[in-house]
Amino acid sequence: MIGDLVSLLVVVLVLGLIFWLVLWVIDQIPGLAPFKTVARIIVAVIAILILLSFVFGGINLPRLRI
């Protein structure tokens, strides 16, 4: 049970880091403000869909054996 919680925590942290990095890259691109807003919304929707499908069993992520 503890291993499952640690695995879940690691997966959530890695996904959060990836999405934070994508948002940071979007902010670093010089361009128009509407493009950045739309890109941030798209990334947020993708992140929410991935997390929801992970929570409800739509995505089987490999478990870490610690």
**Does residue 32 fall inside a structural domain?**
yes
| pLDDT higher than 60, residue 45 | yes
At which residue do the structure tokens 């890109």 appear? Answer: 39
Say what the pTM is.
0.69
Residue 46 three-state SS: helix
What is the rounded distance in angstroms from the CA atom of residue 64 to the CA atom of residue 7? 6
**Does residue 25 fall inside a structural domain?**
yes
**Does residue 36 fall inside a structural domain?**
yes
Residue 64 three-state SS: coil
**Does residue 66 fall inside a structural domain?**
no
**Does residue 63 fall inside a structural domain?**
no
What is the rounded distance in angstroms from the CA atom of residue 28 to the CA atom of residue 22? 10
Q: Are 59 and 8 in contact (CB under 8 A)?
A: no
Q: How many domains does the chain have?
A: 1
Q: What range defines the domain where residue 20 resides?
A: 2-55
Phi and psi at 29, nearest 5°, equal -75, 120
Span 10-24, pLDDT tens digits:
878 888 899 999 999
